Structures are given as C-alpha cells and as structure tokens.
Amino acid sequence: MSYYKIKDLENYFKMYKKSVREPRKFWDKIADENFIWYQQWDKVFEFNMEEAQFKWFVNAKLNITKNCIDRHLNKRGDKTAIIFEPNNPDEEAQHITYNELYEKVAKMANVLKEQGIKKGDRVCIYLPMIPELAIAVLACARIGAVHSVIFAGFSASAVATRINDSECKMVITSDGGYRGNKVIDLKSIVDESLFNCSCVEKVLVVKRTGGNVIMKEGRDIWLQPLLDEALGNHVAEIMDAEDPLFILYTSGSTGKPKGMVHTTAGYMVSTAYTFKNVFSYEEDDVYWCTADIGWITGHSYILYGPLLNGATTVIFEGIPSYPDHSRFWEVIEKHKVNQFYTAPTAIRALAKESVEYIQRFQFKSLKVIGSVGEPINEEAWHWYNDHVGGKRCPLVDTWWQTETGGIMISPIPFVTPTKPTYASLPLPGIQPVLMDELRNEIEGNQVTGSLCIKFPWPSMARTIWGDHQRYKDTYFTAFPGKYFTGDGALRDEVGYYRITGRVDDVIIVSGHNLGTAPIEDNINEHPAVAESAIVGFPHDVKGNALYGFIILKESGENRDKENLTREINQLISEQIGPIAKLDKIQFVKGLPKTRSGKIMRRILRKIAEGDFANFGDTSTLLNPECVEEIKNGRIE
C-alpha cells in the first residue's frame, strides 16, 4: 500500500517526482496492489498524441463492480456502503450494507439482461437521487452496458438530444422525484422526450412518489415486480480495460453537448487513488458528497471512488434549503459525517442566511471539508473554513473536470498547507503547465496562462461519443501535444495553482457548465429574435449569472418586452432546463462585431459587469456606435 496513501509533504514530493520521472512504474504499482483483475495488463499505457488516442492498462481484464462490491464482502459485508438520506427529514434514512448492495445490483443486472440489454448497449438513467440510481449505474457496469446518466433537472428536449446522440436502448426513470417541497414528474418528461427517440425499446420505472403516470404498453415496465422475481447473484461480465464504462454529457462552447466517454480500468484506478488521498478516508469514516450523481462529481466521488475504497457514502435526495437552511448541518450531525464535499454555490447561498442555522451544530465528527465545481472566492472560503471546518478541518479546493474523470489539483489533508482560493498542488501523476498565447510553456512562478496537462493520466476521457474529431479539436489542437483544459490559472511564488476561470465560451452558473452557443441557438429560435449573445456576470450566490443581449426582428420590435423576456426564458427552460435561464435580458439594436463578423464578447462582458472604464481596443469593430447604445441601456 506504500504508493496508495500519501503520508506527509516529503512523501508527496517524493511520490510526485517519481510519478513524473517514471509514470509507468508509478501507475503500475498502484494498479497492481489495490485492485482485483481477471487478467493483468501487457503495458501500463500506450499513446498516440497526434491522433489523441490513449490506452491505459492495455489488454487488462476486469469488472469495476467486482472492485466496488464483491471484494469487500468478506471483510466488510455488514458494513454500510450507502446511507440514503431522503428529501423529507421525517422519512427514515436507509442503510444499505455491502452484502445488500451486492444483492440489489445482482438483481438489477439480471433484470437488465432479461430485458435485452447486452454488453456495449447504452442505457440512459434519468432518476432522482435515490438508491436505485446508484444500483442502476452499478448494474450497467456489472453487465458491461454503458451508462449515460442524465441529470434529472434537464428538460425533455435536452434528454432527447442526449438519448439520440448515444442511441440508448433503454431508459431507467421513476414516476417522479422530490426536491424540497416540489415534486418533479420525471416520467412525463421522459414520455415527452421519447416522442423523438426511436432507439429506445424499453423504459423501466421506479416507484418513488406514487404519482400518476401513463405506462405505454410494450415499452414501459414497473421495475419492482421484475426485481422481486430476479436472482440475487450475478457473475460479472469480463471487461477490457478500455471498454467504455459510461458516457456523461458536458456543455461545449459550440453546438450540441459533448458525450464524454470514460473507460474502465484507468477511471477505476484514478478515482480510487484520488478519493483515498484527497479525502484522507479511513476505514470507519462516513463520507458525504452533496453533488448529484447526474454530474461527474457524483459519478466519481459519490459512487465509484468511495465504493472502490469500501467506504460508507451518503446519498442525499434533497436540497440545502429544505425544510430550512440548516439541512446540510443537520445531516452532518445525524450521520456523523467525517468528510464533507460540496460546491461554492451552496456555500455562498448558506453563508447568506443567518448564522443561527449553523451555530446550533458542532460538527465534532468532521475531519475534512472539500469544494468543487468553480473557483471558491475568498469570502466563501473563509466562511466555510471557519463555520463548517471550525478552522480545524483542512479545506480541500479540488480542481478537475468531467473530462479529467478524477481530481487533478488539490491539497491533501494534513499534508499540503492550504491557501484560500488556491487548489494548490497537482496530485502525483498529474503534470499541469501554463501556456502563453504563442503556445510556449511558461516556466517559473508568479505567472498566469492557459492551463494544460502535458502528460496523459489514467482517468482522462478517451473520446467524445461518435465524434473523435471534435475531441481532438477541442482538447488537443490549441496547444499541440498537450491537453487543453479551457481554464486559465495562475501559479504563485511557491508553485500553487489558482484557477481563475474559463477562457472559452463556457460559463459556470451555480457550478453547472453552460455553453453560450446552445443557449443562443435556442433564443434565436424565438420568432421575434434576430440574433443574441450571452455573457456571464458575477453573482453573489451563483458565482456567475447569465446576461443576454438580444436583437429583435422588425416584426418583434413592437412586442411587449416583459412578455418577450418571459417567453424567451420559458423557451430556454423547455429546451435546456431552468438552470440556463437568463437573469437579465437587454434588447439592443446591434451587437459589437469584428470585421470578420465575430461578436466581441469581451466588450459585452465588461458592460454586463458594469465596468465601462476599460473596453480595450475597439478600433477593429465593424460597428463601434452600438457600444454606446448598449452601455446606456444596461440593466442594473
């Protein structure tokens, strides 16, 4: 286990150096000592940078669920694997042991097979945060089906796009889901999306809310009766190291969402290794990550990472403000949570509320607190560190992405001294570099640049489903030979990294990645709209919010602006989901454009922020006169 756990700073530096000097040996040892394999690899890795092709643990055979479940049964069969904390605090929490998890996953795996799902088939999972979501994910992995989890806040149209893109054969959903005092009718959203998806043959429906649903004959089946009949054991499928494990969609700066493909062995090795070290997980700890399994954080650090380490992981169905703003704190106390991992947007929202909500609690159990998803501002960092961490628990600000599969840059608790707003140092095996505009690597410290990773790592996404060219173009062309993250960063005087934010057209709102292009495409579909541009502006709670500049067609100019604003947001809600709604909409006559016709978003960003002092060079604009008009009409 010597390589698996980082003990102190000296040990970190030693390991880091080794991982850079001898990556083969480094990952070989971790993979060899900490997992079970049907067959070992011929080579640790094999790359073709030019073609953006990466293989890890070449020709190894395994099943990730054997590593998540079966191998723990001897030692930890009666240990709780999953604690389910329902939305309603009056509903009893469930404790699912590793033995029970085995049986539930086996039954589900048998049901999937009986319903015609084979190795390699894609299965869409559209479920609320209930145990069945975890079980469905693991059952897919068990039989070698590729899971594509879609966050249960996406609209019917967004669900349809994702189902069609990867041609899912089945959807697993529920009658509905609870979120605070709302009930979401998931099944009817699926029904609507399936009008446009001919690839889906079966829909399995979990009963959660007991709400009315329409079951389509020959397609829709209630899950529970099938599970009742199913066998409680299952021989796991033998998977190749590079067989796809899952697809997870993330927004791009242009066009349709990108189905990031993660494969089996590399993802397993990285998520297990990073979970153990970044959260300093010890055998009897209770770990809670508040993300949704519909995002990568939930995949890697609610499910796979913790279960690979035989941990106890909490699945929380609800939201931080229900029934009141003390819910997170109550759950930490109730389940004696040792590691707590959440997002800056949640911290900012809770920090706005009265301190009485949090002061009632002492958090004696907490050892480590973590942050993920967007830059954490200094104020939020201190609030989190003081009020939740009690200035005693290390705060790990973890930087990573859907594409990276696992945490890349983060302090290691009790090892790396933390510094507010800094993700600090790369984990062993990860080689970040900063690049300048001329594509040169920037040496030394106290510098800023575009963040790239210069050597592959096991859990990197291997491709975009059905579009390898887009994968190459998006990640490997801006800085040839390197993976480009899309983020800007600075490196301080001791080599700590601070992520400053996206340098492309992706805006992070409440921790969710939103591409400007798909939202603009949507707005432009409104019959009154001629053209639009979306930019982000700083928001107290969400981090960023969206500001839309919209040019109307002549026919739309006399329309009531309030109604139009409502209709446009309605359209976005239906097509993408409520998370993409615009906070501000300004109707304008023109948008600042370069001579090549590109919208100068830099100027719009400045206007949205209310910073009129420094627009930079506007002389290249085709229509500089519109800037004044937009400035004058700015919405406060």
In the complex, the residues that contact ligand PRX under the rule CB under 6 A are 250, 296-297, 372-375, 397-402, 423, 485-487, 499, 502, 508, 513
* Shortest CB 489 distance to ligand PRX, Å: 9
* Shortest CB 519 distance to ligand PRX, Å: 16
* Shortest CB 377 distance to ligand PRX, Å: 10
Which residue lies nearest ligand PRX, judged by its C-beta? 402
Cβ contacts of 110 within 8 Å, gap of 6 or more: 230, 231, 234
E strand or H helix at 170:
strand 170-174
Alpha carbon distance 192, 190 (integer Å): 5
* Shortest CB 439 distance to ligand PRX, Å: 20
Whichever of 311 and 380 has its CB closer to ligand PRX, that residue is 380
Whichever of 395 and 568 has its CB closer to ligand PRX, that residue is 395
Phi then psi dihedrals of residue 357, to 5 deg: -60, -30
Hey, is 462 helix, strand or coil? Answer: coil
* Shortest CB 375 distance to ligand PRX, Å: 4
Whichever of 190 and 296 has its CB closer to ligand PRX, that residue is 296
Alpha carbon distance 370, 393 (integer Å): 10
* Shortest CB 42 distance to ligand PRX, Å: 32
Q: At what angle do helices 98-114 and 131-143 cross, to 10 degrees?
A: 60
Whichever of 70 and 374 has its CB closer to ligand PRX, that residue is 374
Whichever of 290 and 485 has its CB closer to ligand PRX, that residue is 485
* C-alpha distance from residue 592 to each of 254, 340, 446, 586, 601 (Å): 19, 45, 34, 14, 8
* Shortest CB 425 distance to ligand PRX, Å: 13
* Shortest CB 10 distance to ligand PRX, Å: 25
* Shortest CB 435 distance to ligand PRX, Å: 15
Whichever of 484 and 549 has its CB closer to ligand PRX, that residue is 484
Alpha carbon distance 26, 428 (integer Å): 9
Whichever of 107 and 256 has its CB closer to ligand PRX, that residue is 256
Whichever of 67 and 401 has its CB closer to ligand PRX, that residue is 401
| E strand spans, 226-376 | 239-240, 244-250, 258-263, 286-289, 312-316, 339-342, 368-372
Q: Please report, as a single letter, which amino acid is at residue 458.
A: P
- If you write DSSP's letter for every residue of 4-63 in order, what string do you get? TS--SHHHHHHHHHHHHH-HHHHHHHHHHHH---SB--SEEEEEETTTTEEEEEET-EE-
Q: Are 170 and 115 in contact (CB under 8 A)?
A: yes
Alpha carbon distance 501, 489 (integer Å): 7
Whichever of 87 and 250 has its CB closer to ligand PRX, that residue is 250
* Shortest CB 451 distance to ligand PRX, Å: 8
Alpha carbon distance 155, 476 (integer Å): 31
16 is written with which tokens?
Answer: 């880091």
Provide the CB-side half-sphere exposure for 524 (13 A, CA): 11
Alpha carbon distance 335, 499 (integer Å): 33
Whichever of 346 and 588 has its CB closer to ligand PRX, that residue is 346
609 is written with which tokens?
Answer: 């922020």
